[in-house]
Each structure stands twice: as C-alpha cells, then as structure tokens.
Amino acid sequence: MPRPKSDDKRSAILAAATRIIVTKGLSAPTMGIAKEAGIANGSLFTYFETKADLFNQLYLELKAEMASTAMKDFPDQVELREQFFHVWRNWMNWAVSFPEKRRALAQLVVSDEITPATREAGHKIMAKIAELMERSRADGPLRNSPRSFVAALMNSVAEATMDYMVQDSKNAKKHSRVGFDALWRILA
Amino acid sequence: MPRPKSDDKRSAILAAATRIIVTKGLSAPTMGIAKEAGIANGSLFTYFETKADLFNQLYLELKAEMASTAMKDFPDQVELREQFFHVWRNWMNWAVSFPEKRRALAQLVVSDEITPATREAGHKIMAKIAELMERSRADGPLRNSPRSFVAALMNSVAEATMDYMVQDSKNAKKHSRVGFDALWRILA
Amino acid sequence: MPRPKSDDKRSAILAAATRIIVTKGLSAPTMGIAKEAGIANGSLFTYFETKADLFNQLYLELKAEMASTAMKDFPDQVELREQFFHVWRNWMNWAVSFPEKRRALAQLVVSDEITPATREAGHKIMAKIAELMERSRADGPLRNSPRSFVAALMNSVAEATMDYMVQDSKNAKKHSRVGFDALWRILA
Amino acid sequence: MPRPKSDDKRSAILAAATRIIVTKGLSAPTMGIAKEAGIANGSLFTYFETKADLFNQLYLELKAEMASTAMKDFPDQVELREQFFHVWRNWMNWAVSFPEKRRALAQLVVSDEITPATREAGHKIMAKIAELMERSRADGPLRNSPRSFVAALMNSVAEATMDYMVQDSKNAKKHSRVGFDALWRILA
DNA sequence: CATGAATGAGTGTTCATTCAT
DNA sequence: AATGAATGAACACTCATTCAT
C-alpha cells in the first residue's frame, strides 16, 4: 500500500489546467499546469497519459459539471416552458459563477485534440437538456430540422447570452431571460 | 508600411494559409504555408512581419471578402426583410462556395493571436450588415439589448446554418431559408 | 553488503533483465525489467542499488554460468587438445542453448556501465579457461604475445563461431569443430 | 542563392560526433555534439534529419575512410599473401593513427540505430578487402565455410590486433605482423 | 527581393531514483 | 520488505525569425 493516487491531486491538475487555459490558451506548457497545481512536471503524467488526455478529461469533467448544475432541482410538475427555463437559468448561472470553467470549455470545444469519442460522450452528458430541447421544438417551426442544427442554434444562443451576462453582470438575470425568450422564439 | 512588390505573392501566401489552416489548424508551421505558396520559408516574412501579422491580415481579408460578397447586388428598392434576406443568402452562398475560407475564418475568430484592433476593424467591415440588423430589430423584442449581443446571436445563427448547409448541401437553399426565418423570429 | 531476503526475487530480476536486454537493449527502462520480473518498479532498487549495479551483477552472473558450464565434466586424463576441445564444446553448447543469455552478455560486454573492476572479476571467473589457453599456446606462434591479446583472439573466434552455430543450428556441431580448429591453428 | 549547405559544417558535425561518441558513448546528447562542432543545436538537424541518421552516415563515412585507407597503394604485381598484408598493414595503421575514429566505429557497429540497409552498404564498401579474403581462403581449411563466418573471424582478429597495437604502440609494427600471421593461419 | 541555412528558446514526455505508506 | 506515486533533470526535435549570399 504505497501512496495511493490522490483524487485531490487529480482535481488540482484539472483546476490548474482550467486556469492556465484561460490565460495562456491550449498551447500552455504542461509544466506551467503542473506548477500551478503544485506538483512536479513529471507527476502530471502519472494522472494523465498525455496532454491531449488531460484536455479530453477536462472537457468531459466541465461538461458534466455544467450539465448536472443545469439539472439541479429539476421541477417535474410544471409545464414545459418553465421546466426549460429552470434548466436554462441554472446553466447561465453556472457560466456566470465559474467564468474560467466556461472559457476553458469554450476553448476545448474548438480544439482538435478533443477526440470524436470524447465529443460523443460529451453529447451524452447533455442528453437531458437535449431532450427538453426536442420536446420544445416538437410542434415549432424547426420540427423538421435535424437535431444537430437545432442543438447548434441553442448552443450559440446560450453562448451569446453568457457573454452578455458576464459583460454586464449587474443585469445578468434580465439578460438571461432575454436570451431564453430569443431561444424560445426560435424553437416553439 | 510600403506594400511589397508582388501582390500576387501576397495573395498566394494568404490563399496557402487558408488551405493549411483548414488541414493543420493555427499551429501550422509557417514553413508549411510558405511551401504551399510556392515560396521559400524566409520570403514569407518579407510580406508579413510575423505569423500573427499574417493571421490578422488573413482574418481581415476573409471578412472583407465575406462582407462584400454579402452586399453584392444589394436591392435598394425592396422592403427591409427582403433586403436582409438577400444579404443573408449571399452570405450563406459564400460560405458554401468557399468552405475552406469559412473554416479558416472560424478558426481565426477564436484565435488569441487576433488583436482587439483587428477585431474592431473586422466589425467595421461588417458595418453594412450590422446596420441592416439594427434596422430589423428596431421594433422587435431585442430593441433594448446591446448591439454586441444581437450581433453575437446573429453570427451564431449564421454559423449554425452554414454548418447545416454544408452538411446537407442538396437542400442548402431550404436550410438557408430555415436559418433566416429563425433569425428573423429572434429579431423582429 | 547484506544480501536481501529473497534470492528468488533477485534471480527473477536478473532473468527478466536478460530477456529485456535482448529485446530492448541496454537502454531498457528499469520499470520494464521490474514488470517482467513481476515486481514493482521501486522494489528493483532493494536488490540492486542502481541500474548500473544490476548490469554489473548480471554480467558477472552470466559469465560465471558460462564458465562453470564450460568446465563441466572436465576430463583430467586426456591430452591437452582434447581437454580444450571439451571445454570449447561445452562453451559453444551453452551459447546455443541459452541464446538470450549470450546475447545479453554480448551487449553488456560493450557497455560502458560495466566497471573495470567488474571486468577484472569477469576475467578471474574465466581463469580456468584462460589457463587451458595458456598451456595451448605455450609452444605455439603466440608464445610471446601478451595474454590479453591471445584472450581477445580466442574470444573473437568463439563469438564468431557462436553466431555461425546459431544461424545454422542444424550443423551446429560441425561448425563448433571448424571454429575450434581455427582457434587451434592460431594458438598451437 | 542563400548560404549553401556547407560541407565543412557537415564534416565538423561528423568529426564532433566521433569525438563525443568516444567520450560519452552513443547516448551522447545531440546538443553536446552540436556544441563540439561549433554550431547551434538546431543546426545539426539541417544536416542530419535525426540523431539516428547522423549515426548511420557517420558509420558509413568511417567505414569508407577505413576501406579506402586500407586499399591505398595497392600492389597489383605481388603475390596474394603480400597483397593481403599490404592491405592489413594500412588497415591497422589507420586504426592506430585515428584511434577515436576506430573506437567510435566500434560503438556504431554494435548500435541498434544502424539500419540493415546501412550495414549492407558498409559491407559493399569493404568489398575489395572481402575479395582478398575470399581468395586467401579459397584453398584453405575454411574453404567451405560461409563468407560471413570467415568475415567475422577476420574482423575479430583485426579488432584484437588493433587493441594490442594501441596498448603497446612502441611495438605496433611487430604486433601487426603477429596478428596477420594468426589470420593467415586461420585462412590459408 | 529571394533564398534557405542558422539560430536557440521552447516543449511533451521519459526514466532512474527516492520515499511515504 | 514491498509498493507505486513523486520527483525533476534530461533530451530529441520543432519552429518563428534572422541574415548571409
């Protein structure tokens, strides 16, 4: 029974990577990430086989956190629009509360280090939200468009809204509503 | 800033960069771009001071081409919605006709090599389109939102629509319409 | 130098190192050797202070086994040439029976990790064979050459013969004889 | 017409590698070789694609020099034994005159970075010497052994002789003769 | 102006060795 | 004693940029 691989350390690396990606981008040296995490450069590779592996896992971690935050306190008994707005509000709040996580995720999304398998897994994580979206557009103008198109639209509106909220955080709540209304106009 | 002798060579580099960025991403070596352009690696720096400079100029070049294509044959005499749709259609067609340019531009947009000044200039280039957008939303639900938010929304809908069109190019025309309708629902 | 508890484990490491050296060379990671030996990487250093130490001990181990095999069933009562040939035959047989040991040893011989002291000890181990050699050349053309030169010649002929035998193992016995005759012609 | 790739520099790298290999072995850092050659570390890779490439070329270079030195002033009109001895003497002299080259070559020969193709080319370079060897053993006791075996024997005797000569260079000439006689006894 | 050799800082990853458990 | 995580120096190779020709 030697020192067991510490979950704390894994988390520290992930958190460090998040911070460093925000400031230096995806080309940030692994050594910088290790230092930020308070470990030796070589130790990083005890937890993640390669830099790309680290990025893929971070992508998933962030997406999972985002999705689970979005689904928190999900109200089963209310009507669809309100359900969706509940999720939307949680989603936006996460982005505003953890701007670094959101920006890091945004970088990871466009990285070509993220494998198709990882992206696929990422989509599965968002399944609940996607399902809400599906139900919302079921009778709307986009009822015949492919899901991926609708999902892309939803994501873009979400991203734009987040930016808006972060920039003018005093009125964040209002902006969240405006973004959701725009989305709803697209879908339903 | 005396522009160098051969405009041909400058264009060749820009075109080469476009192609290389699509296949290798923004981390593509300058030497690869030079080779693709049919010149020696050192010569690239006669035309562009640094790699970042090349990218900034390419960003502007592509944006300008996109914008001018969008404004082609602009119909002054028709009503606003139709004017906007004319522009939208040109815009979408450009993206479908020159997928490499569009994809390169998409990469450049998220690059942190692109300076704020360049982004600002890029927005100016889109001024005509922005103005249309402004007029369209003047009486709509987003009439009180900041222009940047509205612009971000428009861009996202455009990007999603382009992807959609490229993926299913047989029905490109129909998809273009669907995207525009979605945009219009947001704005007006 | 208290030898560690388990001689089994020590032997396992030595045997693993032999195998790994053959496939990966002397730059084989200690971790690979440990895994092959079925122990944890850190445990290797309980038995051998350093990688170089392991190699030095392995060198000696292999040389000792080689020498003792060569001297097996030594016939005291026959004449010199036959005595020498008996040893030669055992020697060659060992090489053919344990090709991995021989190849590992060949690599170790040229390694600069093997210290002069170890080499010296290795020569002592071969003392019996060297003595036979000395007696064989006592009246021959090399009677006035330094022992080290003669030993080097003998070793080279042996090495060449071993290669020859391994390559064409069907006629190994014949090749062994041819090699010995060549050696004898040099010495006596 | 830029700076042309300089043959001097190529030679300097090769010479530097020779020296460094002797002192630090084949694991010598490329940076050390570059520094010894008086160039920047990156420049080494202008002349040799990889470290392995450098080693392969050096192997060939050294072998070629050795072979051409050995054939210098080849006497066509004398009998076989004398021809062979002439070559042998040149060969031994080269080894004694350039001990670093010889030792570097000895290391390269056992390196697994040297490709089969390179080894093949190396053998071609030695073709003339091999031919002499073939003629010498044509009627001798090894007339039925494979050439590779005979060549291995010859090389080993040569190596042993060189060591001997270097160690006791005062009597180098005598030792060269002794070695040759031993070889001749094997072959003819 | 064009060329491509020269430069040298920068980087992901490996690995012998140490040490906490 | 055994384990395997932790360490950090080391290293081959890349690449934007400079500069001699």
Give nucleotides in strand E with any atom < 7 A to a protein C-beta.
1-21
Quote the pLDDT of residue D5.
80
Give the pLDDT confidence of C2-50 residue by residue, as tens digits: 455 678 999 999 999 999 999 999 999 999 999 999 999 999 999 999 9
Mean pLDDT, to the nearest integer, of B141-166? 91
| Nucleotide with the nearest C1' to D52 CA | F12
Is a pLDDT exceeding 70 seen at residue D126? yes
| Cβ neighbourhood burial of C144 (10 Å; 0-12, 13-18, 19+) | exposed
pLDDT for residue C6: 78
* Strand F nucleotides, any atom under 7 Å to a protein CB: 1-21
Contacts of D108 in chain C (CB under 8 A): none
Does residue A54 have a pLDDT over 70? yes
* Distance from C-alpha of B33 to C-alpha of A153, rounded to nearest angstrom: 34
| Nearest chain A CA: its distance from B55 CA (Å) | 17
Query: Chain A closest CA to B2's CA: distance in Å?
Result: 33
pLDDT at B139 over 90: yes
> Of B55-59, C40-44, C150-154, which range is least confident?
C150-154
- Arithmetic mean of pLDDT, D62-78: 96
Q: State the pLDDT at residue C1.
A: 43
In chain B, the percentage of residues whose pLDDT exceeds 70 is: 97
Query: Which residue from A70, A62, A148, A71 is spatially nearest to A109, judged by alpha carbons?
Result: A62
Name the nucleotide with the smallest C1'–CA separation from D54.
F12
CA dihedral (B149, B154, B158, B161) positive or negative = positive
Dihedral angle computed from the Cα positions of residues B107, B109, B113 and B117, in that order, rounded to the nearest 10 degrees: 160
pLDDT at D109: 94
Q: Which two tokens stand for residue B141?
A: 């639900």
Which string of DSSP letters, residue by residue, matches A9-67?
HHHHHHHHHHHHHHHH-TT--HHHHHHHHTS-GGGHHHH-SSHHHHHHHHHHHHHHHHH
A110–B110 C-beta distance less than 8 A:
yes
The answer to whether the CB of B151 falls within 8 A of the CB of B133 is yes
**Residue with tokens 């003392």, as numbered in its chain:** C127
Q: Which pLDDT score, from 0 to 100, does residue C129 have?
A: 94
Contact with chain A for residue B38, Cβ under 8 A: no
Q: In this complex, is the C-beta atom of C145 within 8 Å of any C-beta atom belonging to chain D?
A: yes
**Å from the C137 CA to the E9 C1':** 62
pLDDT of residue B1: 43
Task: Nearest chain C residue to D168 by CA: give it.
Answer: C146
Classify residue A53 as left (phi > 0), alpha (psi -120 to 50) or beta: alpha
> Which residues in window 106-135 of D are less than 7 A from strand F by Cβ?
none
User: C11 CA to F4 C1', in Å?
Assistant: 22
Q: Could you tell me the CA-to-CA distances from D55 to B125, D9, D45, D112 in Å, in that order? A: 56, 16, 12, 10
Task: Name the average pLDDT for chain C.
Answer: 94
Strand F at less than 7 A from CB of D1: yes
The alpha carbon of residue B43 is apart from the nearest alpha carbon of chain A, in Å, by 26
Question: From CA D142, how far away is CA D137, in angstroms rounded?
Answer: 6
Say whether pLDDT at B66 is over 60.
yes
| Mean residue pLDDT across chain B | 93
pLDDT in tens, B71-128: 999 999 999 999 999 999 999 999 999 999 999 999 999 999 999 999 999 999 999 9
Give the per-residue pLDDT at C188.
86
- Nearest Cβ partner for C157 among D145, D148, D156: D156
pLDDT at A25 over 80: yes
Residue D120 has pLDDT above 90, yes or no: yes
pLDDT at position A15 is 98
Structural domains of chain C in order of their starting residue, each with its CATH number: 1-48 (1.10.10.60), 51-187 (1.10.357.10)
Q: Does at least one atom of strand F sit less than 7 Å from the CB of C141?
A: no
Residues in chain D with CB shorter than 8 Å from the CB of C168 are 146
**A81-to-A135, A137, D96 alpha-carbon distances in Å:** 10, 11, 92
D2/F20 CA-to-C1' distance in Å: 7
The minimum CA-CA distance between A48 and chain B, rounded to whole Å, is 23
Best of C150, C159, C186 to disrupt the D interface (most D CBs within 10 Å) is C186
Asked whether A97 and A47 are in contact (CB, 8 A), the reply is no
Touching check for B29 and chain A: CB below 8 Å? no
Q: How far apart, in whole angstroms, are the C-alpha atoms of residue B178 and residue B154?
A: 14
Burial of D174 (0-12, 13-18, 19+ CB in 10 A): middle
Per-residue tokens: D9: 């520099």
With a cut of 50, say whether residue A55 has pLDDT above it.
yes
Cα–Cα distance measured from residue A82 to residue D118, given in angstroms and rounded to the nearest whole number: 74
CA D32 to C1' F14, whole Å? 18
CA C85 – CA B114 distance, rounded (Å): 81
Residue type, D170: K
pLDDT digits (tens, 9 = 90+) for D8-42: 999 999 999 999 999 999 999 999 999 999 999 99
Q: Is A157 exposed, middle or buried (0-12, 13-18, 19+ CB in 10 A)?
A: buried
Disruptive mutation site among B119, B186, B187 for chain A (greatest number of A CBs within 10 Å)? B186
Please name the residue whose C-alpha is nearest to the C1' of nucleotide F3.
A2
What is residue C4's predicted lDDT score, i.e. its pLDDT? 52
Query: D3 pLDDT band (50/70/90 cuts)?
Result: confident
**D1 pLDDT exceeds 80?**
no
Structure tokens at B54: 């090349």
DSSP B25-78: -TT--HHHHHHHHTS-GGGHHHH-SSHHHHHHHHHHHHHHHHHHHHHTT--TTS
Q: For residue C144, say whether its CB is under 7 Å from any atom of strand E.
A: no
Residue C153 in contact with partner chain D when CB distance is under 8 A: yes
Give the nucleotide with minimal C1' distance to the Cα of C41.
Answer: F4
To 5 degrees, how large is the angle CA A123–CA A117–CA A87? 15
> What distances in angstroms separate CA B67 from CA B62, B87, B89, D154, one per listed residue?
8, 9, 12, 79
Query: Considering chain A, what is the average pLDDT of its residues?
Result: 94
Q: Is the CB of D4 under 7 A from strand E?
A: yes
Q: Can you tell me the distance from the alpha carbon of B79 to that of B86, in angstroms, rounded to the nearest whole number?
A: 11
Rounded to the nearest angstrom, the minimum Cα separation between B19 and chain A is 16
Tens-place pLDDT, residues A92-134? 999 999 999 999 999 999 999 999 999 999 999 999 999 999 9
Q: C54 to chain D, minimum CA–CA distance in Å?
A: 19
Task: Tell me what percent of the residues of chain C surpass a pLDDT of 70.
Answer: 97
Q: Is C147 on the interface with D (CB under 8 A)?
A: no
Listed ranges B28-42, B132-146, C1-15; the one with the highest mean pLDDT:
B28-42
In this predicted structure, the answer to whether residue D112 has a pLDDT above a threshold of 60 is yes
List the chains bordering chain B where 3 or more Cβ pairs fall under 8 Å: A
Q: Give residue numbers, 17 to 56 of A, with CB < 7 Å from strand E.
A: 27-31, 41-42, 44-45, 50-52
3-state DSSP helix/strand/coil % of chain C, to nearest 5: 75, 0, 25
pLDDT at position C5: 62
> How confident is the model over A61-69, as a mean pLDDT?
97
Q: Does C170 touch chain D (CB under 8 A)?
A: no
Q: Which among A27, A112, A157 has the least Cβ separation from residue B156?
A: A157
Per-residue pLDDT of C83-102, as tens digits, reads 999 999 999 999 999 999 99
